[in-house]
Amino acid sequence: MRSTLLALAAALLVSAPLATSTLHAGETETYVPVEATDVVAGLRERALESDLGYRIVESLTTEVGPRLAGSEADARAVEWATAKFKELGYDKVWTEPVTFPKWVRRSESASVLGANAQPLTVTALGGSPAGTVEGEVIRFSDLDALEAAPAGSLAGKIAFIDYRMERSRDGSGYGPGSRVRSRGPSAAIRAGAIGYVMRSAGTDSHRNPHTGITRFDEGLVPVPAAALSVPDADQLARLLARGPARIRLALDCGWDGEYTSQNVIGQINGSERPDEVVLIGGHLDSWDLGTGAVDDGAGVGITMAAGALIGQMQVRPPRSIRVVAFANEEQGLYGGKAYAEAHLGEIRQHLIGAESDFGAGRIYGYSSSAPAYATPADTAIAEALAPLGIEHLPGQGGPGPDISPFAAKGLAWARLAQDGSDYFDLHHTPDDTFDKIDPAALAQNVAAYAVFAYLAASVESADDFGFGSAPTAEAGDGN
């Protein structure tokens, strides 16, 4: 619905230095009607007082528990989400198929051999093959060091990257941390290693290793690849400081056919233009070690609750709120890719998308891909979020992982940036459990998503929805 010329203008404008619009709301601008701004103040307060999001996360993590993509619990999670959307009064509830290769974890163990014999706590990286290997461990301080190892130099050896991921509010430490996971195994194989272990990409100090997907480059024969818990990486490093050390790594896991799960979708219909939607969501799958409370039960609970609270309002926004519980984000954004593919023809009916997939910490910042002509709407949203302690941070961030495939096709995105200082203490570990969630912080998230979604679904412009942006690069290893 957005004209090509407007889209072109947007593409040019968004790449210019941050331009604060000095124009008043008018024919060529996208803005929020004052009635909507008035209404969301009450919605915001109601959401802050509601424990609905918290109860949704409790229900998912307790009743379904861990829900590895393709597992028996994946199907139960789909049933759960379908029933929950209905229970919450969503107007339309449906599923859309998502097919992916299935990876299974059966058992995993590691131990130091010889004079300092002792067990090590490990977990297989997602995508690792099965195998039992024994060999001398060669330590590398980071990925670059392993990638610089000459071919054949690790023949018969087990490579160990001992990179310590950094804690940060915005999660910027995870890029380098997750690259050790995604690229380390291939680097190890190129150098001739028979196995790969890494210090977990995490910021905690507990005996809970962090799993996560890895990939093997084309043409390489995969080797067993695992993450040590942080204390175990410390221990192995101390042993290696004393001299050579041999370990045994035994993984039983691997790819096992194909599975079809579902994106589960609930919609609160808009009062005037129900076919136009604001897209929010989280991902329904989790890793298997914990119960996926912060990753991403929280995102599911936050967005399901936000939609439900909007659905309960007397004055509905003109457009619809569509909440997606995405399938298999963890192993390659399969749910997000399937959604983008299935709905590419209706991309112009999607105003903007935002995914909650960064834990359960408070939201501290708002940004979006809004072009200059939509600055009035963007600013109105930011102003309505400000009472929640949320700062407007224009120009920062990018789309959430499951939104990114659609954003790469041109979907506008918003980012409600959560405080992730503690997120990587729990992320992908057995410790990602419901007790870690602060109900007040979760309610703040629900309030923010509700406010954002309501206002985004209420924008007006001369001819059609004005949020638009240049296509965004698709996220890589955001999962």
Binding site for a second copy (CB under 8 A): 58, 61-66, 72-73, 76, 112, 115-119, 121, 205-208, 230-231, 234-235, 238-239, 242, 290-291, 429-431, 433-436
Q: How far is the CB of 225 from a second copy (least distance, A)?
A: 22
Beta-carbon contacts of residue 283 (< 8 Å; ≥ 6 apart): 296, 299, 300, 325, 326, 327, 328, 329, 330, 335, 355, 357, 401, 402
Helix (H, G, I), strand (E, B) or coil at 249: strand
Which one, 27 or 72, has the nearer CB to a second copy? 72
Residue type, 295: D
Q: Which residues contact 394 (CB under 8 A, 6 or more apart)?
A: 18, 367, 368, 378
Question: Taking the complex as a whole, how short is the minimal distance between the CB of residue 119 and a second copy, in angstroms?
Answer: 7
Taking the complex as a whole, the smallest distance from the CB of residue 65 to a second copy amounts, in Å, to 3
Closest to a second copy by CB, 276 vs 431, is 431
State the minimum distance, in angstroms, from the CB of residue 101 to a second copy. Answer: 23
Minimum distance, C-beta of residue 398 to a second copy, in the bound complex (Å)? 32
Task: Give the residue with the Cβ less far from a second copy, 62 or 141.
Answer: 62
Task: Determine the 3-state secondary structure of 273 from DSSP.
Answer: strand
Instruction: Indicate the residue among 76 and 215 with the shorter CB distance to a second copy.
Output: 76
Q: Which is nearer to a second copy, 225 or 228 (CB)?
A: 228
- Name residue 354's beta-bridge partners: 280
Closest CB to a second copy among residues 37, 121: 121
Give the distance, in angstroms, between the CA of residue 424 and the centroid of all CA atoms in the same chain: 12
Cβ–Cβ under 8 Å, residues 36 and 458: yes
Q: How far is the CB of 253 from a second copy (least distance, A)?
A: 15
Structure tokens at 233: 């990486």
Token match 């050896």: residue? 157
Alpha carbons 307 and 446: distance in angstroms, whole number: 9
Rounded distance, CA 160 to CA 277, Å?
A: 47
> Shortest Cβ distance from residue 118 to a second copy (Å)?
3
Residue 34: HSE in the Cβ half-sphere, 13 Å Cα cutoff:
1
* Phi–psi pair at 326, nearest 5 degrees: -75, 140
Query: Minimal distance in Å, beta carbon 235 to a second copy?
Result: 6
At closest approach, how far in Å is the CB of 58 from a second copy? 7
Q: Report the residue number, 109 or 153, with the smaller CB distance to a second copy.
A: 109
Distance CA 154, CA 449 (A): 50
Helix axes 34-49, 298-311, angle to 10 degrees: 130
CA dist 265 and 449 (Å) reads 17
Q: Is 114 or 175 the residue whose CB approaches a second copy more closely?
A: 114
The closest alpha carbon to 406, from 367, 349, 357, belongs to 349
Give the separation between CA 444 and CA 271, rounded to whole angstroms. 26
How do strand 92-112 and strand 225-228 relate by DSSP bridges? unpaired
Q: Which is nearer to a second copy, 24 or 242 (CB)?
A: 242
